[in-house]
């Protein structure tokens, strides 16, 4: 029972972080049709910014907020500075074919990842460093029994829960949320409704940047921070997004938690070195059994 | 007044619109008819900014439109109802309508509520089904929704691209007659593209016949209906 609870709680708090990563990926995929390989590079970079601020005696919370804002700005810069100019050059010969139009941004995102990693190496010497937690990372005690959950786990679950509630309210109750969903589903009809689809898309990149920046802040106390530590997180997040259905925001969050549990249970009942294989096996199984994802919709074409 | 002059729109050096000039008078229905591939849809898409013309000018209320973005054209009072009952099927009926007025939510919240009420009065079936996804509507209902989405933006010029396409005759007649009433009662200017020439000319004030990207006739609707030689040559009946 003890090991079950350990796996369950660790799965929930890790799954919450994967849900953020997956949400960030799906936001950009739906909004801009780009698989953003730079996403965790952006998160790594903003977590370094937070780490630098904390070293310079800023409080955890001010560093936390500044990192989230930098995440939003970095996301917007990637779109405005690179993705938009790359895809809007209509007369370029290369961009005439649909397949190139979809491939080029993906390759570009790999380029950004490389640039961000090099910059982190230049600014922070690429050394691996720890990252603090705002609450103690010890197991919570009731009386004399240690629970299988730490204070920091509860913090992670709480922060992600609040984020998801705010995101849901934003998408379902506000005009801007409606504009974002509409732009992702049908850009032409949305533009004909007088909405600036380009700006809405940039906002999507910014929100995605914030979500991944938050994921970076929440995961690095456990993994430590180096230019490469968040690479695995992208793969896990991508698996979660595919399992959830790539086009569904709710699905991406659900996928995050499912993958979190898979990893936690393999870790506790199997061996930690098998986790990576388990993720890939799980991804393949999910693709075989339900290729459109749990909440994804099959593409229906009316004629 | 919409004033189109010497408009040329090319797709890979093929002239889809070849030197088009005409005017659409305010408060009137001007219909553009012609066979498939005559350039009717391209004309509307060029006016609304979805396609960029190679040369020529489109003037609306003395403003040049050809260098404006789609969004700012919509915001200047021109709403397009695209071909094929274009609604967003995954969004609810109410959300599709809300989308049409979203850009003026901050400035004209009160009027937006009035406009929304008006389209629900115009199409009561949409009010009944407002919470359902737009994809579950029938073809006619989706066309009504597409028109409603355009109307809540309070357009002065409505561009309709083949509203009767794929609809049962009775329903398409109903939709055309509602558009006609809107024009007569509210002074809306309508530019109606139709393949179904008879239905369109029956309500229109003015008719423009397109063939292979050129204007071959520009006449009052009544004269165009009466001209059997034009019909035989370009519409095939």
Q: Which residues contact A92 (CB under 8 A, 6 or more apart)?
A: none
Per residue in B79-128, pLDDT (tens digit) is 999 988 789 999 999 999 999 999 988 888 889 999 999 999 999 999 99
pTM of the model: 0.89
Mutation target vs B (from A93, A193, A248, A295; most B CBs, 10 A cutoff): A193
ipTM of the complex: 0.92
Mean pLDDT of B174-186: 92
pLDDT of residue B232: 78
Q: Which residues contact A24 (CB under 8 A, 6 or more apart)?
A: A36, A39, A207, A208, A209, A211, A212, A215, A237
Per residue in B32-85, pLDDT (tens digit) is 998 888 899 999 999 999 999 999 999 998 899 999 999 999 999 999 999 887
3-state secondary structure of B213: coil
Which of the residues in chain A have pLDDT under 70?
1, 89-96, 297-303
Task: Identify whether the C-beta of residue B183 lies closer than 8 Å to the C-beta of residue B23.
Answer: no
CB atoms within 10 A of CB A59: 11
Residues of A in contact with B102 (CB under 8 A): 175, 178-179, 193-195
Residues of B in contact with A203 (CB under 8 A): none
Give the residue among A257, A226, A227, A223 at the shortest CA–CA distance from A239. A257
Residues of B in contact with A192 (CB under 8 A): 48, 50, 70, 74, 79-80, 82, 86, 150
Q: Which residues contact B28 (CB under 8 A, 6 or more apart)?
A: B183, B189, B190, B205, B206
Interface A:B, Cβ pairs < 8 A:
69
**Inter-CA distances, B35 with A143, A150, B38, B40, B213, Å:** 84, 72, 6, 9, 11
The percentage of chain B sitting over the pLDDT mark of 70, rounded to a whole number, equals 99
* HSE value, Cβ hemisphere, 13 Å, CA-based, for A203: 16
**Inter-CA distances, B65 with A245, B3, B20, Å:** 41, 10, 15
How close, in Å, is residue A106 to chain B by CA atoms? 26
Hey, what's the torsion of the CAs at B218, B221, B225, B230, to 10 degrees?
Answer: 0
pLDDT of residue A89: 66
Distance CA B120, CA A106 (A): 44
pLDDT of residue A92: 62
pLDDT of residue A110: 95
B91: nearest CB among A182, A191, A192: A182
Query: What strands, in cross-sheet order, belong to the sheet with B157-161?
Result: B78-81, B157-161, B189-194, B29-33, B206-211, B214-220
């Amino acid at each position: 029972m003890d090991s079950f609870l350990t796996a369950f709680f660790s799965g929930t708090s890790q799954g919450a972080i994967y849900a953020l990563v997956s949400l960030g990926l799906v936001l950009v995929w739906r909004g801009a049709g780009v698989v953003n390989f730079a996403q965790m590079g952006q998160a790594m970079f903003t977590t370094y910014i937070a780490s630098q601020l904390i070293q310079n005696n800023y409080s955890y919370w001010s560093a936390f907020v500044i990192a989230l804002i930098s995440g939003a700005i970095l996301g917007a810069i990637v779109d405005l500075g690179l993705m938009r100019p790359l895809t809007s050059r209509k007369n370029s010969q290369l961009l005439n074919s649909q397949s190139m139009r979809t491939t080029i941004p993906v390759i570009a995102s790999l380029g950004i990842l490389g640039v961000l990693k090099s910059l982190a190496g230049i600014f922070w010497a690429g050394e691996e460093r720890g990252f603090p937690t705002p609450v103690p990372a010890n197991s919570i005690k009731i009386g004399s029994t240690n629970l299988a959950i730490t204070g920091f786990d509860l913090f992670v679950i709480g922060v992600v829960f609040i984020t998801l509630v705010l995101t849901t309210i934003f998408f379902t109750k506000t005009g801007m949320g409606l504009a974002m969903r509409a732009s992702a589903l049908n850009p032409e009809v949305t533009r004909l409704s007088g909405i600036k689809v380009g700006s809405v898309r940039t906002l999507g990149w910014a929100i995605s940047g914030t979500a991944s920046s938050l994921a970076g802040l929440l995961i690095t106390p456990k993994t430590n921070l180096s230019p490469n530590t968040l690479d695995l997180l992208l793969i896990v997040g991508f698996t979660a997004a595919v399992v959830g259905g790539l086009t569904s925001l709710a699905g991406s969050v659900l996928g995050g938690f499912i993958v979190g549990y898979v990893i936690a249970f393999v870790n506790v009942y199997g061996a930690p070195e098998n986790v990576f294989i388990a993720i890939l096996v799980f991804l393949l199984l999910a693709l075989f059994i339900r290729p459109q994802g749990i909440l994804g919709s099959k593409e229906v074409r009316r004629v | 007044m919409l004033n189109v002059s010497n408009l040329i729109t090319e797709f890979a050096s093929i002239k889809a619109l070849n030197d088009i000039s005409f005017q659409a008078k305010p408060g009137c229905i001007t219909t553009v008819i012609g066979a498939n591939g005559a350039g009717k849809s391209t004309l509307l898409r060029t006016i609304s900014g979805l396609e960029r013309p190679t040369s020529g000018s489109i003037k609306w209320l003395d403003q040049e439109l050809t260098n404006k973005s789609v969004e700012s054209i919509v915001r200047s009072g021109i709403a397009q109802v695209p071909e094929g009952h274009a609604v967003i099927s995954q969004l609810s009926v109410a959300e599709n309508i809300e989308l049409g007025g979203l850009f003026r939510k901050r400035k004209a919240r009160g009027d937006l509520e009035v406009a929304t009420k008006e389209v629900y009065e115009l199409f009561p079936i949409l009010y009944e089904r407002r919470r359902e996804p737009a994809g579950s509507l029938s073809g006619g209902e989706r066309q009504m929704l597409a028109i409603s989405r355009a109307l809540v933006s309070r357009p002065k010029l409505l561009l309709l691209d083949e509203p009767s396409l794929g609809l049962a005759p009775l329903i398409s007649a109903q939709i055309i007659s509602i558009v006609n009433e809107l024009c007569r009662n509210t002074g809306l200017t309508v530019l109606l593209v139709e393949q179904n020439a008879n239905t369109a000319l029956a309500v229109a004030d003015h008719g423009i016949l397109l063939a292979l990207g050129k204007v071959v006739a520009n006449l009052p609707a009544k004269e165009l209906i009466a001209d059997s030689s034009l019909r035989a040559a370009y519409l095939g009946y």
